[in-house]
Structure 1
Amino acid sequence: MWRPAAWLPAGPPHTSMGVCVYSFGYRRPKSAYEFLEYGHELGAGGVQIGLDSLEPDYTQRIRRRAEQLDMYIEVIADLPSEDPSGFERKVRAAREAGALCLRAACLSGRRYETFSTLEEWKRFVTESKRKIARALPVLEKYRMPLGLENHKDWTADELVELLKEYSSEYLGACIDTGNNIALLDDPMDVVERLAPYAVTTHLKDMAAEEYAEGFLLAEVPLGQGMLDMKRICQTIARARPKAKFTLEMITRNPLKIPCLSERYWATFPDRRGECLARTLSLVRAHKPERPLPRPDAFDPAVRLRLEEDNVRQCLAYASEQLGFQPSAISRQLSAISFQQRVRALFGAP
């Protein structure tokens, strides 16, 4: 009996590391199912994606396909603003899709750009805690872990304090390995502080250079930046062996971190000069070997190719240098012969 090609395990993952949909700002997938297939084509071991439909038929279809491809699913979700019923529907759908966890962020922007005063920041903190309090009963009901990302909002100290305040096995961190450089945290200290709470990760490498008001910060392919990727991965894996490593390789122009401007410091009353000195020393000690990426200077077709190439480089580095090899099941899939694939499509003669 004929079956669509989507039923075929067309090729195994090249690495156990997954890829987050935020790695594709230029090539935006139309659906979670499409991104799952694309991640498999790239050789990723899993995907982190938002669900475009919460219907059981759709989520179960995603689950079946992920199982066939030996890939994991992580679901991106927003914390509940008021009525938690919508959040509960998303958590239930994520569970039906076979998601290992949720990823959420309290702030969609950047702290030093979003808030002009300390009072604004304090109101944000209060509202964030309310959202977390609404989310926790739902997470506990469905036994679904959620990783809060350090999304250029919380310093490492603040996020650890926040997680300790709730002390739930279903609330942890999505450790972004590069974001907190923008808040003048030491990147390795961030990893070491958050590793015991890791639910998932946004694995990335970073490069930086100074400019008049501070420094420029950009994601670069793994192994080409200033971060000790092996030490980072070993630290997280030791603390939380079950946490997945999910790539977030954003291809974009460098971000300006205006840490020498007065406004930058408005919401950091406890940051000391040593944080600034340490970060600028880090930037100066790791001058990029090549110019920071500026993909907006290229035409759309070139940007698309560059974006995919950056992700492919990262996945290859993860497999070859970080030890993120495919699972045993994935290796078994690679042994399926051409004849077996034909029989899977058309049935045995």
Structure 2
Amino acid sequence: MHRRDFLQKTAFGAMALSFPVIPNFLKGIPMGVVVHSYASRWNSKTPSQAYPAFTNAIDLLEHCHQIGAGGIQVVVKDWSADFVKKVRTRREKLGLYMEGSIGLPKKAEDVATFEKEVANAREAGAQILRTVSLGGRRYETFKSQQEFEAFQKSALLALQLSEPVLKKHKIKLGVENHKEWLAPELAALLKQVSSEWVGVTLDFGNSIALLEDPMEVVETLVPYAVSTHVKDMAVAEYADGFLLSEVPLGKGILDLPRIVALCKKNNPNVTFNLEMITRDPLEIPCLKDEYWTTFEGISPTALARTLRMVKSHPYKPELPRVSQLTAEEKLKAEEDNIVSCLAYSKNELNLN
């Protein structure tokens, strides 16, 4: 049987040939896992029998299938044609979905490389790609408003260069709100691009670091959501602002049932991907002058509201930390958190 005939005769063939939405049989599948949830285990150098390193997408697929996840979101870069086929074959056999995580072309000369990675992701079975406009955090990266404005222009150019490739290969791109865009800014960027192939990977908690109300962020960006990063967040006071941590689902301050319901209402085909990063709390230095360099658009009331929220929602007994743990203990804590989140997603969020 030819490969094309085989695909057409299977459910996964239907998935490969159905554009641009995710097919009906994927609705209600379990929550997937973002590769960044395994920050310690991905390419780990720790010789652990209990938590062996994941070295590629197939390792991640195998493990996520074992723990009951519905799919993965993984970096797609420098994949050979042979590896692409192996990923697709294994993904289909396990019955999991796969989303790609990809960098954008910064200039015209980068488009060919970008298209190759898009084509590889598409061939492996991805219908959605996630990206970020900035790898770092806005308040740590830019030292002037002019720098930020230059970034805005380059981010728009990157999406404009990407859009024809996405359209050609019939694959959607979700730009994450990754501690660089205020929600209205990201919405405005997408309106400028104005393409059905470019939307949002809606992160449930990142924008708290930019003093945004998490529900307002969801309500602003959910019309554009093609994918999600599911997480719960906890906060605590510190001298220069507040501390922010990912915590197991249901343990933090986010109204997860409401957020999930809004996502489903606006896009019944949206995917839910866990991003539970097990790490020390992030410092959000919103009381330091440098933090405000690029935030001309933030109202002073946003700071007051956020600090009130921090004060009124202390995490007991204290925010989790992992820097004091051994490498093996970090791996265990990471796995325990992910398994806990998957159980919550099924039992409380009905993502199964």
Do the structures match in fold with TM over 0.5?
Answer: yes
1:76 alignment partner in structure 2: 101
- Correspondence list, 1:1-349, <5 A: 16-28=30-42, 29-51=54-76, 53-82=78-107, 83=109, 84-325=111-352
Distance 1:128 1:60 in 2: 32
Distance 2:218 2:297 in 1: 20
Amino acid corresponding to residue 294 of structure 1 in structure 2: R
Flag the structure with larger Rg: 1
Distance 2:283 2:75 in 1: 28
Amino acid corresponding to residue 55 of structure 1 in structure 2: S
| Paired residues of 1:31 and 1:52 also in contact (CA < 8 A) | no
How big is the shift at 1:164?
1.0
2:5 alignment partner in structure 1: none
Distance 1:69 1:100 in 2: 17
| Paired residues of 2:77 and 2:102 also in contact (CA < 8 A) | no
Report Cα offsets for 1:152-193 as digits up to 9, x if no partner. Answer: 000011001111111100000000101000001100111111
How big is the shift at 1:53?
4.4
How big is the shift at 1:74?
0.2
Secondary structure at the counterpart of residue 315 of structure 1? helix
Identity of aligned residues (%): 46
How big is the shift at 1:15?
6.1
How big is the shift at 1:283?
1.4
- TM-score, with structure 1 as normaliser: 0.88
Secondary structure at the counterpart of residue 226 of structure 2? strand
Secondary structure at the counterpart of residue 207 of structure 1? strand
How big is the shift at 1:285?
2.1
Deviates more, 1:42-51 or 1:220-229: 42-51
Unaligned 5+ residue runs, structure 1?
1-13, 326-349
Amino acid corresponding to residue 39 of structure 1 in structure 2: C
Give the aligned length.
312
Distance change (3 Å), C-alpha of 1:155 and 1:133: same
How big is the shift at 1:56?
2.7
Report Cα offsets for 1:249-294 as digits up to 9, x if no partner. Answer: 0000000001111000000012111111111122122111231011
| Paired residues of 1:53 and 1:59 also in contact (CA < 8 A) | no
Distance 1:281 1:63 in 2: 48
Amino acid corresponding to residue 73 of structure 1 in structure 2: M
| Paired residues of 2:232 and 2:252 also in contact (CA < 8 A) | yes
How big is the shift at 1:116?
1.1
Amino acid corresponding to residue 265 of structure 1 in structure 2: W
Distance 2:344 2:129 in 1: 26
Distance 2:29 2:233 in 1: 21
Secondary structure at the counterpart of residue 269 of structure 1? coil
| Paired residues of 2:215 and 2:259 also in contact (CA < 8 A) | yes
Distance 1:162 1:205 in 2: 26
Secondary structure at the counterpart of residue 297 of structure 1? coil
Distance 1:240 1:16 in 2: 16
Distance 2:326 2:134 in 1: 31
Distance 1:230 1:290 in 2: 25
Report Cα offsets for 1:10-65 as digits up to 9, x if no partner. Answer: xxxx9610000000111012111111111112211000001354323321221222
Distance 1:319 1:294 in 2: 26
| Paired residues of 1:72 and 1:100 also in contact (CA < 8 A) | no
- TM-score, with structure 2 as normaliser: 0.87
Amino acid corresponding to residue 262 of structure 1 in structure 2: D
